[in-house]
Amino acid sequence: MAVHPIDYRYGSEEMLRIWDEENKLQRLLDVEAALARAHAKVGNIPEESARVISERANTKYVTVERVKEIEAEIGHDIMAVVRALSDVCGEHGKYVHLGATSNDIIDTANALLIRDSLDIIEKDLKDLRSILKELAKKHKYTVCIGRTHGQHAVPTTYGMKFALWLDEIQRHIERLHQLKERVLVGKMRGAVGTGASFGDRALEIERLVMEDLGLKPARITNQIVQRDVYAELVFFLALVASTLDKIALEIRNLQRTEILEVSEPFGKKQVGSSTMPHKRNPVRSEKVSGLARVLYSNVIPALLNNPLWHERDLTNSSVERVILPESFVLLDEMLKTTKKILRDLEFFPENIRRNLYMTKNLIMAEPLMLKLAERGMSRQEAHELIRQLAMKAFREGRDLLEVARESEVIMRCLSEEDLESLRPENYIGKAGEIVDSVIKYVEEMEKRGL
């Protein structure tokens, strides 16, 4: 019976497969097998025993059902895995879990799950980067109104919007590479992190296990890998979610009926409302924004998991069973949804132009003020003059430039040609060059594999 929506509604099959019960069990078994092989390499156990344990450390032999059955009896999840594996290994089972504590297995297995999950996140981020790069190129000079405080400000371009998001996604990709160095670590050091249970060759055994699994050993641990690492991971996932939320929020606003400059894709048979047949609701973007709130909320428990009693307690364990799969699966859903939205984003050029000219050139107040300053008028004096004229134009519903032409002060300073040049399309500064600089940087990072 499915209860949580990630069981049946959210996340790709590849991400869900990583965090399903059977794969999580397999990763625990992978660590137990690597430990047995390490013991054999240093001569602690027979090579034949390591071979048998490695062969039987598979969910074909150690089933989820059997582990649950043992756990119900003894009340310990990892010991249930150890017993189930030992049982199928016969006489060689006595070497299973030799020297290890539960979190040697759990934390190292978690690193494997996290590595696989981050690989998917990285691929989606790079896909999203490619989509945004093409949009930035295509719309480098698609001039539109910029808005601050929800009000019309001065012109910008859609290329600037997309390049802004592109640059942010690139930062996430770079953060991800940095994060991997810290989060993809395991441990094999026993109950309080000293390695005493593994004897004189403890650090060698740990090194062999981690090399076998493609991980690095944590520099120092107590019973667990320290949870500042997990907190950083969950914060990173939430930070990516905040960028997707930002993109979705902008699209939702730009899709408002009164604005309608862009729209997320709407299928031919898609239903917008159960009662209003005409509706084209931005449901994908709203889903992205909604799921982001869950990822934000997971940051707090991740932070609370870092301070534990002495060498550790168990208060982090139940939390991580929830927030790790939930954060990865929901971000996976958000990334794939955002890719679809942007890949098929619909533009309404006539509305973009209409909104650009909606305020009857009030948005040209800044360049008009600056022209007066260029001609010798005090910047502050010019600001106050244009402010008064802009308020007059607003009250009377007239074009700002028309009102400006009635000002003797302005016409003494400026020519008709000066006023005619004040068009929104002419006031985008170095937008094109700025977009190009972002694209150039991103392409350089792509060549470096970042």
Residue 439 lies in a domain: no
Task: Indicate the helix (H) or strand (E) that contains 349.
Answer: helix 349-356
Pairing mode, strands 151-157 and 143-148: antiparallel
Task: Report the alpha-carbon distance of residue 114 to residue 242 in Å, rounded.
Answer: 20
Q: Do 115 and 35 share a structural domain?
A: no
Q: Do 129 and 253 share a structural domain?
A: yes
User: 238 and 295 in contact (C-beta within 8 Å)?
Assistant: yes
Tokens 């729209």 label which residue? 263
User: 140 and 157 in contact (C-beta within 8 Å)?
Assistant: yes
Of 98, 126, 143, which marks where a domain is finished?
98
Residue 208 lies in a domain: no
CB atoms within 10 A of CB 368: 22
Give me the catalytic one of 242, 273, 318, 437.
273
Of 299, 333, 357, which marks where a domain is finished?
357
User: 324 and 301 in contact (C-beta within 8 Å)?
Assistant: no
Q: Do 383 and 287 share a structural domain?
A: no
Q: Do 158 and 25 share a structural domain?
A: no
Residue 445 lies in a domain: no
The answer to whether the predicted template modeling score (pTM) of the entire model surpasses 0.85 is yes
User: Using only C-alpha atoms, what is the Rg of the chain?
Assistant: 30
Counting the structural domains of the chain, the total is 3
User: 262 and 345 in contact (C-beta within 8 Å)?
Assistant: yes
- DSSP SS3 for 52: helix
Q: Do 239 and 138 share a structural domain?
A: yes
Whether 149 is catalytic is yes
Q: Do 253 and 191 share a structural domain?
A: yes
pLDDT in tens, the chain (450 residues): 778 888 889 999 999 999 999 999 999 999 999 999 999 999 999 999 999 999 999 999 999 999 999 999 999 999 999 999 999 999 999 999 999 999 999 999 999 999 999 999 999 999 999 999 999 999 999 999 999 999 999 999 999 999 999 999 999 999 999 999 999 999 999 999 999 999 999 999 999 999 999 999 999 999 999 999 999 999 999 999 999 999 999 999 999 999 999 999 887 787 776 778 787 888 999 999 999 999 999 999 999 999 999 999 999 999 999 999 999 999 999 999 999 999 999 999 999 999 999 999 999 999 999 999 999 999 999 999 999 999 999 999 999 999 999 999 999 999 999 999 999 999 999 999 999 999 999 999 999 999
User: 354 and 312 in contact (C-beta within 8 Å)?
Assistant: no
Distances 178 to 111, 135, 174 between C-alpha atoms, Å? 15, 27, 6
Q: Do 37 and 89 share a structural domain?
A: yes
Domain that holds residue 395: 359-426
Q: Do 240 and 119 share a structural domain?
A: yes
Picking from 167, 157, 162, 163, the residue whose alpha carbon sits closest to that of residue 428 is 157
Task: Report the alpha-carbon distance of residue 9 to residue 35 in Å, rounded.
Answer: 37
Amino acid letter at 300? I
Categorise residue 365: left if φ over 0, alpha if ψ from -120 to 50, beta otherwise.
alpha
Whether 273 is catalytic is yes
- Residues with Cβ < 8 Å from 226, sequence gap 6 or more? 218, 306
Q: Which two tokens stand for residue 308?
A: 């534990």
Q: Do 289 and 251 share a structural domain?
A: yes
Q: Do 146 and 288 share a structural domain?
A: yes
